[in-house]
Structure 1
Amino acid sequence: MRYADTILEIISSSQSHMTAEQIFFALKQQCPSVVLATVYNNLNTLYAQEKIRKISVAGYPDRYDKNTRHDHLVCRRCGALLDIHLSDLTRELERQTGFAIEGYDLKIRCLCPQCRAKEQAADQVCKSQGL
């Protein structure tokens, strides 16, 4: 595919977990005639070829990531994604299940520092108003 290598480079060089729209805008800087459907088609192909990871979080657009071994923290309030590097659980999962594990995507729910601060501030307001 004509744009696949450039899209793969955009994802590989990104320090964030980009949405299709963000990838589209980054690609459009290099290839002004590209359309959003082309980006989606290429993302689907790259994902099917296991060259990238797709991260789905309910209520948020899918995001795309490098295909390297790592897991994710997902904020339950704002949907922020943060990489976390844990030891590989494949052998332990295989031992417990008796199945050959081909791979896994671990998403750990958390409350990011910004959302935690907002909740604590809201709690303080409620307490100060006797609620």
Structure 2
Amino acid sequence: MRYETAILEMIRTSEDHMTAEQVFLALKKQYPSVVLATIYNNLNSLCQQGKIRKISMEGSPDRYDRNTRHDHLVCRRCGQLSDVQLADLTRELERQTGVSIDGYDLRIRYLCPRCRAELAAEAEEKS
């Protein structure tokens, strides 16, 4: 239980979307005897309890996030994940689908400013 509380607090207060490995490395500073399997078990338990959410993206390790209403911007080049606050679309989605929706996870793919600048610089070098 002590690990679960510490992990929950870490996820809730983090500005990043941490991987299990990042949670492990951060928690190991406070609890040197913790093992990675314990981190995965606690993260899975917290997800099942609905206290945090897991964000899975192809080609990247799962990331964990606080369970508050928000969506994400995902850079299609570097994979950077950023929170974005958009209007809640639940009622509109329910109207369009004709079913009651418990929740949704909107991920908008885009090119982040850093990647856009890098690509522009690469194109400039080529010309």
> TM-score, normalised on structure 1?
0.94
Corresponding residue for 1:23?
23
- Please state how far the C-alpha of 1:125 moved relative to its aligned partner: 1.5
Residue identity opposite 1:19 in structure 2: T
Q: Secondary structure at the match of 2:27?
A: helix
Q: Distance in 2 between matches of 1:40 and 1:119?
A: 37
SS at match of 1:3: helix
The yes-or-no answer on 1:91 pairing with 2:91 is: yes
Cα distance in structure 1, aligned partners of 2:70 and 2:11: 15
User: Is the radius of gyration larger for structure 1 or structure 2?
Assistant: 1
- Amino acid aligned to 2:72: H
Structure 1 SS opposite 2:78: coil
For 1:63, give the aligned amino acid.
Answer: R
After TM superposition, the score normalised by the length of structure 2 is: 0.97
Deviation >2 Å, runs of 4+? none
Matched, 1:71 2:71: yes
Q: Within 1, Cα distance between the matches of 2:14 and 2:45? A: 19
- Structure 1 segments unaligned to the other structure (5+ residues): none
TM-superposed deviation, 1:101: 0.3
Match of 1:14 in 2: 14
Percent of aligned pairs sharing the same letter? 68
Q: How far apart are 1:58 and its partner, in Å?
A: 1.1
Q: Hey, what does 1:43 align to over in structure 2?
A: 43
Q: Give the number of aligned pairs.
A: 127
